[in-house]
A and B are shown apart, each in its own frame.
Chain A
Amino acid sequence: MNVKADSDLVKDCISGNKQAFETLIERYKKQVFNVALRIISNYDDAGEITQTTFIKAFEKLHTFDRTRKFFSWLYRIATNESINYLKSRKNIESLDENLVSSEHNPEQHFAESEQDESIQQAIMRLTPEHRVVIVLCHFNNLSYKEIGTILDLPTRTVKSRLFSARRNLREILNQE
């Protein structure tokens, strides 16, 4: 089966073919949803952020530079939306167990295994900056360079942030 490249789908979409955008939704909804979910740790709101991400992408599609990777652009929107969400909840300074506890009951969504659950709880104890690089690197399998593009950071900064994040995550998990 002939699989169309993202750039071709974007081109088709700009030409008025909304079906092409549905293909892009199908292709990236899971990844985008997981970016949001791992950053904010709320299943329902991650769904909302995913919707917002795609709608914003659709509305701004004409501004997208097609020489770049579509998914990087999409993840960038998703990441920004997730960070804005955290800011709006005034949790950016002091994310603690409150976010991963009772109200949103993340267990039901993360508990593929107890290990997944403990990892998510540990991730939520990282700063948002560290959390984002861990999510993009390990859950979305992006390279330093791709993460740099998404976060608008030099590769060197991405590496430094990622390595520090790992060190902190390791310490958090070791404390448990």
Chain B
Amino acid sequence: MIPDKYFELINKEIDGTSTKAESARLKKYLQQNSEARQMQKSLRSLTQRLHQVQLVEPPGYLQKTIANMVSGASSPTTHRSFWNDLIAQFTPSTSTHKEAYMEQTPQGFFSGKRGILVLSGAVVAVIAIVYLAGLYPPASTENAVGTIGGAQKASKYRSEQLSESDVVLSPTQIQELLQNDKIQTLIKSPEFKQAMNSDAFRAALNSDALRAALNNEAFRSALNSDAFRAAMNSDAFRSSMNSDALRAALNSDALRAALNNDAFRSALNSDALRAAMNSDAFRAALNSDAFRAALNSDALKAAMSNDAFRSALNNEAFRQAYNNEAFRSALMSDAFRAALSSDAFRAALNSDAFRAAMNSDAFRAALNSDAFRAAMNSDAFRAALNSDAFRAALNADAFRAALNADAFREALNADAFREALNTEAMKQAAKSE
């Protein structure tokens, strides 16, 4: 039996990572121990064999497939319609046909057994989207391919939670369904193709939370909005769909209601909000009732329409802030929300000094006080926020410490004090702590 320490030395020697002293110690040990010599010889032979193993060439289509998925553009020489690809999944084929198909269509998730499984789930979800969003079937064609979930479909899908087992279609039924003009229009749209090329989106389609969300009128209405569809086309949005937190959030009434609001949908189209949705902090915030409720407030929705606010959402300090309970709690207060409605406050959100201040415990604690919130709602305070000197002051420890004092907050609530805050002398004084 070779002691562990010498077994380690043998391995290190083989890997060329031993020190001179270790090599000398091993050499001495090997001279005295034939078993260790045999082990070294054997392991050296093994590692040589391993290093001689050739790397296997990946499939020829791989580079192009991945590049296409990344760029969202399909190769002109290998183009097949999305419709044909979908049909091909459910068309019985010989192995020769499949091989030829795979050679001609290096389309990533359309090839390979694993891909088919993923697509099957995605197709079910797509059909559910189309069906539940009211795109299909037309009211007058009740008997035409109205086979989703069998005879109960009309009442079931509009009143109960959707589950995968509810949507059971035969290959023939799927083909018939896919021949519907509206479905073809949807699945042939560049936005949809792009979305389906994203792992995150496909994973999202397969999530119970999204399926449950599909059963919600507000969410379906959102699906029908141009802004939401455009959002589906963004990498950040699709990626964010892959987060459990966001999926869970989709199940909250507050977020769904927010999705039904034009301002919020429009905000979904902004890079800043999408990027924010991609941040862990935002997703974590989405999991808090306070934040969701805030999303549903008119003030926050209106704020979402504002570039400065969107930009702030994407700022690390702001993200840290909305991950903070005091900040979320502040979002619940009418005064804070009203403050969000003011241009001065939003502009302040866009300043580094203010964001940094939001990241301080003292400022967050202040946010939790009614007096401070009330102060934020005053024109004088907002005007003060518009001044660099005042923002810089917010960033000073002494000023933040003052914010933490009840007396100071009370003072902030007095018109005279606010007016004073707005004077140059006071701003400069605050800046100098």
Contact = CB atoms under 8 A, between A and B. Distances in A.
Interface of A: 18, 21-22, 25-26, 29-31, 33-34, 37, 43-48, 50-52, 54-56, 58-60, 62, 109-110, 112, 115-116, 119-120, 134, 138-139, 141, 144, 159, 162-163, 166-167, 169-170, 173-174
A45 B113 CA distance: 8
Among the interface residues A30, A110, A120, A134, which one has the most CB atoms of the partner chain B within 10 A?
A30
B200 A25 contact: no
Contact of A116 (B46, B54, B114): B54
Interface residues of B, number: 44
Contact of B70 (A50, A55, A141): A55
B255 to A, nearest CB: 22
B50 A138 contact: yes
B85 to A, nearest CB: 16
A50 B62 contact: yes
B21 interface: no
14 contacts: A25-B70, A29-B58, A34-B56, A34-B58, A45-B113, A47-B58, A47-B59, A47-B112, A48-B115, A54-B70, A59-B199, A59-B200, A159-B11, A163-B11
A134 B50 contact: yes
B108 A51 contact: yes
Given A48-B114, A138-B50, A29 B70 contact: no
Contacts of A139: 50, 53, 55
Nearest to B200: A59
Given A47-B59, A59-B238, A112 B54 contact: yes
Interface in B191-224: 198-200
B251 to A, nearest CB: 23
Interface of B: 7-8, 11-12, 15, 17, 42-43, 46-47, 49-59, 62-63, 65-67, 69-71, 108-109, 111-115, 198-200, 235, 238-239, 275, 278
A167 B7 contact: yes
Contact of A119 (B50, B67, B238): B50
Contact of A51 (B12, B17, B47, B66): B66
Dominant secondary structure at the A interface: helix
Contact of A33 (B46, B56, B67, B109): B56
B199 A55 contact: yes
Contacts of A141: 51
B66 A54 contact: yes
Contact of B58 (A33, A119, A173): A33
Contacts of A59: 198-200, 235, 238-239
Contacts of A48: 109, 112, 114-115
B215 to A, nearest CB: 27
